[in-house]
Every structure is written in structure tokens, then in C-alpha cells.
Structure 1
């Protein structure tokens, strides 16, 4: 199994320092949140993109992809009632594919719950249709660039649009593309009625990425979620992609979060 970590864990650190520390701690990859670099990826120059790509080589850590892609990118919304906003979002997802490709990433994690909520007065079927149309061009761009879009089912506490792995799979299957999959996230799966190992087995081979965290919003091993049956299920289905640490509470500090998370994962997956 390959292990990754999200760069926003290293709050206030430079990307170079974050990548170097992650590599030293034993991670294979780092996952980059664009909002830690700029408000919009279109503001990140080609020279800076090349520098980030080179940092991957010099620090010895892979860039697995990008996530939190609509955070701070004001004016973006998957299924908004305003057609101009949806068109702007359609183009921005193409921009995200280009950015991910330019820095050497392979996956785009699409969570961003606040930018996909079904708005008041909108029928769920209509929101589904609008979101589907928003993704069409970026799926084609992803196929051209060798990037995989990964839609993230999130809990009802976070969004009212696509809350289960089953729903997310149904959404991406509309596109009949190997470059549009889902991501499974432990925190999010905790909100489903099914056991996490069952969700993993039922979702294979439709997921292409995996987030490791706990329902308490901390890292793996920092809460009550037992990762042993999760690891067993991932091995059983033959998943060989990244298991990436993503947390939402940072009080332990980046060094402790990073080191203790990977120590726990390596013990669990060995």
C-alpha cells in the first residue's frame, strides 16, 4: 500500500518543507490543497507549477493529486441555479485538470460540500442533472491528460448532495469513463448505515483513492475507528492506490499528526 498525506496539515509551512518532512516521515506521496497556494489555480504561474513538479523530485515524494479544489475559489458551484455560475465552474474544473497535470499529480479529489448543496427550491433530480453537465468537459479533459477525477460522497452533516458511496458510483457511471471514479473517506463512511469494510467491497472497482481519518476528524489511530478490518477489505479487493491521511482538527501539531498517523497505518497494513 502507498501512503500519502494532505499538505494543509502542515499549517504555515512552505510546500518544500512540508514535502521534505512527509518524505522523511515515510510517506510515499503528498496531496495538495490548491487554496494553500493561491485563491484560484489560474493564478499559479507555469514557472511555479514547474517548481512544484521539481520539488517532488528533489524531496523524493510523489504528488498524488489535489483536493479541497473549490475552497476559496469564489463563484464556483456544481449545481447552482445560475447557468453562468455553472459554466464558470465547468471551465474551472478543466483548469484544475490542467493544474494537476502540470504539477505531476494524477488524481483530483472532489469534495467541497458547500459548493454542491442542493439549493432551496431546487428538485434533487434537477441538481443532479446540472452537476452532471458541469462535469462533462472536465471528464474529457481528464481523459486527455491522464488524470482521474474522484467524486467524494460526504455525510448529510456536510452536504445534502451525494451522501453515500452507492450514490456517488451511480453519478460517475453516467460518464462511462475510466477517468471518473469515486473516493472513499473513512470519516464520511462512518455516517453510512453499512460497516466500512462492506462499503469498500461493494464499491470496488469504482473507487480510485482512499482517505484515512477518524470520525472524530483526526488522523488514523487518533480515535476509535479500527483500521484492521479496513486494511483487510482494501487488500481483499486488490486496491493498490494511495491511502492518504486527511484530518480536520490540528491541535496535536503537524509533526505528531504526520508521524503517529503513518506509524499506525504501517502497523495496521503490514
Structure 2
């Protein structure tokens, strides 16, 4: 069963980003529950920013699951990436993500590595940067497996990373790791830039997909751009995708309307 999810970001430094809710966590969760979302995807400044007992209580109160936790604050706040030329920074990056994995695993939720993958920076050979990324993902994938969750790696578009941009590249990369516990995040916004055909890429590399980000071509909520969601939904059904479709989109024109637009689109394409 494909399940609905909405993003909640609690990191002021990324407030201009593509996340639906920005308010108090409980207020956002109450709104998500009222609209009928199955889960939330949470972005926090750190692994200890929220007491697990408080989150447990709220998830139970609003009958929501925690679908995933984001790690982007590690880069935005601390400047950490897995491909930094400085070995100490790479170690700190792994440590930050390990803490996020541990936090999410308490709720059966995977951690997502997006911006913390970094870039191939001037003076570093591409092959070396990919080696660093592989080393980090392997360590983190094995750690996540020991805690009963997968690790989610997100290919980003060319304007956000020069490492891996397409599902084909991502699949080849994770298949070469010394762990089978890393899955890909299929972000429809990034895919709209990089993939020749979103449905065909999903069909071809569906066994690698562990999470989906639900946004239209302009990164507004689905239904407010020109992405052909009908064919994408069909492709996800064909690969028997059973995970979350999570709204990582700009809160346009405002969070409440964006959340409403998202759940209506989800029902249109996945509840029929």
C-alpha cells in the first residue's frame, strides 16, 4: 500500500526550502492528521532536538507514523558533508548522520542523505569523491541495518550536486556498496530535471527505490505544475512500491493550502 506523508521542518536556517509545514510540531501534526495524512517526514536541527518520548506521545495522539528523518541540517548548520576533502569533517558528518539514524530508528524511520552527500570540489578527482561517498554510505548503511532500518540516499539534480543525478547512476552506485541496506529516494522534482522519462526510470530501477518525494515540476505541490503524475503513479504500482509518497514541496501559496492540495492530489492518484 502506498502511503501519504507530509514534511515538517523545524530548522529556521532552511525555512525558504521545500517543506510544507513550519509551525510548532504539534500544530503541524494536528493539521496533517485532520487532512488524513498517514505520516510525517521530519527535519530537525539535530538528533537530540526532540525528546523521543514527546514525539512518541504526539505520533500516537494523532495516529501518525514517522516516515523518515532528514539530515540536511548537518550541512546547513554545521557545514558537514560526506565528500569533504578534510577527513575530520567527513568523520563528523558520519557521526552526525549516525545520531540521526539512531533517532529515527526508534520509530522505524530511515534517515535520508541528500545535501550531506556534498560535491566534487575543485582540486579533488571525481573518483576520489565517490570513494569517500561510498565509504560513508557503507558505514552508515551497515549501522542502519543493525538498528532495523534502511538508509535512504537521494540523487539530486545537477544544480545541487555534481555527484549522482539520476536513478540509473544511483542504482549502479549503491549496488556496488559493501551493504545491501541503502535504497534510493526518487524525488519527482529532481527527476523532472534529470530523467528522460520519470515513469520509465521508476520501472527500470524500481527495486532500488525506498522513498518518494512528491512535488510537481516547479516544486510546488502536485497539481500545480506540469508533471504527468498519472503515468508516475501507474509506474509505482507496477513496481509494487509499498512505501511513502512524501510532500517535499514549497508551501505555496501557504502551508495549509499546500497540504490540502497535496492530500487531494494523493487521493486522486493513489486512492483509486
Q: In angstroms, what is the RMSD of aligned CA positions? A: 1.7
Query: 2: distance between equivalents of 1:63 and 1:132?
Result: 27
SS in 2 for 1:7: strand
Q: Given that residues 137 and 182 in structure 2 are in contact (C-alpha distance below 8 angstroms), is that contact kept between their aligned partners in structure 1?
A: no
Shift of 1:257: 0.4
Q: Distance in 2 between matches of 1:2 and 1:17?
A: 21
2:54 is matched with 51
1:156 to 154, 158, 174: 158
1:86 aligns with 2:96: no
CA contact (8 A) 1:106 1:146 kept: no
Aligned partner of 1:16 in structure 2 is 26
Alignment of 1:1-270 (within 5 A): 1-8=2-9, 9-34=19-44, 38=45, 40-41=46-47, 43-44=48-49, 48-69=51-72, 70-102=74-106, 104-112=107-115, 116-247=118-249, 249-269=250-270, 270=272
**Cα shift at 1:250:** 2.5
Q: Distance in 2 between matches of 1:163 and 1:238?
A: 24
Once residues 6 and 251 of structure 2 are traced to their aligned partners in structure 1, the CA distance between those partners, rounded to angstroms, is 13
- Partner of 1:190, secondary structure, is helix
Structure 1 pair 258/106, CA: closer, same or farther in 2 (3 Å)? same
CA distance 1:73–1:136, change in 2 (3 Å) = farther
Instruction: Report the TM-score, using the length of structure 1 for normalisation.
Output: 0.91
Using structure 2 for the length normalisation, give the TM-score.
0.90
Sort the Cα spacing of 1:10 and 1:184 in 2 relative to 1 into closer, same or farther, 3 A. closer
1:205 counterpart SS class? helix
CA deviations over 1:2-31 (Å, ceiling 9, x no partner): 110111345541111111110110110000
For 2:4, what is the secondary structure of its paired residue? Answer: strand
Given that 1:94 and 1:137 are in contact with CA atoms closer than 8 Å, whether structure 2 keeps it comes out as: no
Q: In the superposition, relative to structure 1, how do residues 227 and 83 fare at CA in structure 2: closer, same or farther (>3 Å)?
A: same
In 2, Cα distance between equivalents of 1:122 and 1:144: 33
**Structure 2: gaps (5+ residues):** 10-18
Maintained 8 Å contact 2:6/2:20: no
Contact 1:31 1:67 in 2 (8 A): yes
Unmatched tracts of structure 1, length 5 or more: none
